[in-house]
Amino acid sequence: MKARFVTLLTLLVILGTLAACVPAAPAAPSATQPVAPAAPSATQPAQPAQPAATNAPPAPATGQTQITVITVNNPDMKVMQGFTGEFEKAYPNIKLNWVVLPENELRARVTTDVATKAGSFDVVTVGTYEVPIWAKNGWLASPEDLMKSNPNNAQPNYDEQDLLGSIRAALSYKDKLYALPFYGESSMTYYNKALFDAAGLKMPEQPTWDQIKEFACKLHKPDQGQYGIVLRGLPGWGEIFAPLTTVVNTYGGRWFDENWQPQLTSKEWNDAVSFYVDLIQKCGEPGATGVGFTEALTLMAQGKAAMWVDATVAAGFLMDPKQSKVVDQIGFANAPVGPVPKGNHWLWAWSLAIPLTSKHQAEALQFITWATSKDYIKLVGQTNGWAGVPPGTRKSTYDQAEYTKAAPFAPLVLNAIQTADPLHPTRDPVPYTGVQFVGIPEFQGLGTDVSQYIADALAGKTTVKDALDKGQAKATQVMKDAGYIK
């Protein structure tokens, strides 16, 4: 068992490092660049200026403890960074140093740092995939334990029991929390009501993928800068495979059977991936292999896309007039289903964790309990508007009258989060947990590699069959090397 752990650790470190080198598409835009000529970055959601990740941080004042926080460049995290002054005013003994990276870069950087015990960060941004695995490996400090040993460094009235049960469970190992949720999400369908009305179309509360394709192709007018749908195509297990794995689920597919045999060459996988690729190529955005969550949000917010199937967390930004041109036009529906009505919406929580290597765990605890507290949610609501508060983490948020009034999507989102089933994500039994990912250490590297093969098919460089054949071979080798199969 010990030998297998060492093997897994070594593999994870290597794959994490390699993931940082995986290219997107030749024309992949950055998070601050336009996705296409018709989508200029000037109309992207406005965010506070970010410090360069490579800049040396300013020295803390005498008596201050500096903690380094690494996070993803999603809109909610940029809002959090924008409140640095509020935190440092409340806790003048602590100075925050930020490192903000795109999602794929963040995953590789944090995984390598934590696995090698480099100790570069005091607070890391991780999700429901990493937390149970890293807790088992002994890489994370438990906030529950730290609150008991450092009661004066926890936000007053933090109220752990207010956390949504499904989110809390996803961030726990052996019934103990190892990260605090900054925002929680599932997935759903966004659509432009004005475009639907003009075309005489009506979005059902529970659409099918076939209906989504029919709508997309009727509304696809690329010569007018209007795309029928925008979907992630950017390589990365947490990028293209977030929505794509849910499509596979609803086509009856699964990553592995009960004996850990890869299933990527099954009919279900071929049908699902062929559908996804065909939909984007015929009725989706151009340059899709450069489109991740951030770029897709930009296109939808600019009114360039008629539909988008993605994370529920985007709803608040699409309803913010400072960041969206479609506030009065945006509609919401459940995530689509295929032939199998199961596994169509995921469960995820971007969360804040403290590595055991941090030399400032008490100060880090002060920050993560502040940033994930009821008080922080209230601060964002009163400052930026209630529709834009971090969603999906606390029961009290959905009991807040100001929030439910400002966020018409709130009931749909809460239901999606509470009904997502990471323990039984597929039609046929599986040995893993996770709706849009496989909860084993090897998936980080495997998912990223296979995503590149799929992106090549999306870009027309290979066929779906060839991509899945390569994926099957890769998965088989990985599972053999890790000892899951012979």
Report the alpha-carbon distance of residue 290 to residue 419 in Å, rounded. 31
| 458 token code pair | 């999306």
Q: Are 186 and 335 in contact (CB under 8 A)?
A: yes
Distance, in Å, from the CA atom of 385 to the CA atom of 381, rounded to the nearest integer, reads 5
- What pLDDT is recorded for position 330? 98
**Could you tell me if 109 and 81 are in contact, meaning their C-beta atoms sit under 8 angstroms apart?**
no
**Total residue length of the chain:** 486
Note the pLDDT of residue 24. 34
Count of alpha carbons within 13 Å of 281, Cβ hemisphere only?
16
Question: Could you tell me where the DSSP H helices lie in 20-164?
Answer: 75-82, 84-90, 103-115, 130-136, 143-149
CA distances from 283 to 48, 162, 213, 336, 467 (A): 34, 43, 8, 17, 21
- Residues whose CB falls within 8 Å of the CB of residue 93, separated by 6 or more in sequence, listed in order: 63, 64, 65, 363
Pairing of strands 94-101, 65-72: parallel
Write down the pLDDT at residue 63. Answer: 81
Instruction: Name the CATH topology of 26-38+46-185+348-404.
Output: D-Maltodextrin-Binding Protein; domain 2 (3.40.190)
Q: Integer distance in angstroms from the first to the last C-alpha of the chain?
A: 16
Report the largest interatomic distance among the alpha carbons of the chain, rounded to a whole angstrom.
Answer: 65
Q: Which CATH architecture group holds 187-346+421-481?
A: 3-Layer(aba) Sandwich (3.40)
In whole angstroms, how far apart are CA 471 and each of 258, 403, 467? Answer: 19, 44, 6
Contact (Cβ atoms closer than 8 angstroms) between residue 121 and residue 110:
yes
Convert 156-191 to b/e letters by CB count within 10 Å (16 or more is b).
eebeeebbbebbbbbbbbeeebbbbbbbbbbbbbbb
- Using the CB atoms, write b or e for 211-242: b if 16+ within 10 Å: bbbebbebbbeeeeebbbbbbbbbbbbbbbbb
* pLDDT, averaged in runs of 10, over the chain (486 residues): 40 39 33 30 34 50 90 95 98 98 96 96 98 98 97 95 98 98 98 98 98 98 98 98 98 98 98 98 98 97 98 96 96 98 98 98 98 98 96 98 97 98 98 98 97 98 98 98 98
Helix 267-283, helix 241-250: angle, nearest 10:
130
What the block records as the tokens of 328 is 């009065």
* DSSP strand pairing (123-126 vs 65-72): parallel
What does the DSSP 8-state code read for residue 30? P
Q: Are the beta carbons of 129 and 437 closer than 8 angstroms?
A: yes
Range(s) within the chain of domains with CATH label 3.40.190.10: 26-38+46-185+348-404, 187-346+421-481
